[in-house]
């Protein structure tokens, strides 16, 4: 299983910390074997969860020429027509994907095209499911343009636990559908803004996968 590069330093530090705690525990407090097993087991589970946060499984990209692939793993929590005021400054169809602690946290490009805009905004760390987190929380917007009629903005949003947005995109980059564009450390939410005439192919409550699930068709 591939581990995303941003997670390697954190995993190394956590592994050393867990090893130090276990060694110290056995040196000073190892009296009851059952308590020792439970204590060490709990630390091992914690370390496993940290490693799992940064997993990046290999997937064959579901290329769909006229489709918009999900840029994130997670659950669709909102679909609505909304005013997008950062880049388009008009009304768009919004599809929001909530990334839980169990999801893969690596994000990908939803369409082929050119990166025409990248905008990072510091902010709060509200619970990502709240609608106002889209603008109030730390967030990063990326716009990919395929042609005049196929332009998609997707926004990485940090949440209550997530405190670090990673983005590889830069204006002028030529990107391919399904290529990796970054991650949100420890999950959170991704908003996708589509043209109003896009045919949305998901419903609230659907589970989607990055590089695989089609959110909409142009």
SS (H, E, C) the chain: CCECHHHHHHHHHHHHHHHHHHHHHHHHCCCCHHHHHHHHHHHHHHHHHHHHHCECCCCCCCCCCCEEECCCCEEEEEEEEEEECCCCCEEEEEEEEEECCCCCCEEECCCCEEEEEEEEECCECCCCCCCCHHHHECEEEEEEEEECCEEEEEEEECCCCCCCEEECCCCCCEECCCCEEEEECCCEEEEEEECCCCEECCCCCCEECCCCCEEEEC
In the residue annotation, 188 being an active-site residue is answered as: yes
List, for residues 143-168, the tens digit of each pLDDT value: 999 998 999 999 999 865 555 788 99
Q: Considering the chain, what is the average pLDDT of its residues?
A: 83
Domain ranges of the chain: 5-53, 67-217
List, for residues 194-213, the tens digit of each pLDDT value: 999 999 999 999 999 999 99
CATH of 67-217, one of 3.10.20.310, 2.70.70.10, 1.10.10.60, 1.10.1370.30: 2.70.70.10
- Percentage of the chain surpassing pLDDT 70? 72
What does pTM read for this prediction? 0.77
Residues 134, 188, 210, 213: which is the catalytic one? 188
Residue 140 has pLDDT above 60, yes or no: yes
């Amino acid at each position: 299983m591939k581990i995303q590069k941003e997670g390697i330093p954190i995993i190394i530090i956590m592994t050393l910390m867990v090893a130090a705690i276990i060694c110290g525990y056995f040196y000073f407090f190892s009296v009851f074997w059952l308590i020792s097993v439970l204590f060490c087991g709990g630390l091992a589970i914690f370390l496993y969860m940290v490693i799992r946060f940064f997993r990046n499984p290999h997937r064959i990209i579901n290329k769909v020429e006229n489709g918009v692939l999900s840029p994130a793993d997670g659950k669709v929590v909102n679909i609505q027509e909304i005013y997008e005021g950062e880049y388009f400054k008009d009304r768009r169809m919004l599809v929001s994907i909530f990334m839980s602690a169990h999801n893969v946290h690596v994000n990908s490009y939803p369409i082929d095209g050119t990166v025409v805009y990248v905008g990072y905004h510091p902010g709060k760390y509200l619970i990502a499911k709240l609608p106002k987190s889209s603008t109030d929380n730390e967030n990063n917007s990326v716009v990919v343009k395929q042609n005049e009629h196929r332009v998609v903005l997707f926004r990485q949003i940090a949440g209550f636990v997530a405190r670090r947005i990673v983005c590889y995109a830069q204006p002028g980059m030529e990107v391919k559908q399904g290529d990796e564009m970054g991650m949100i450390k420890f999950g959170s939410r991704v908003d996708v803004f589509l043209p109003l005439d896009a045919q949305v192919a998901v419903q609230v409550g659907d589970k989607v996968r990055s590089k695989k699930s089609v959110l909409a068709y142009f």
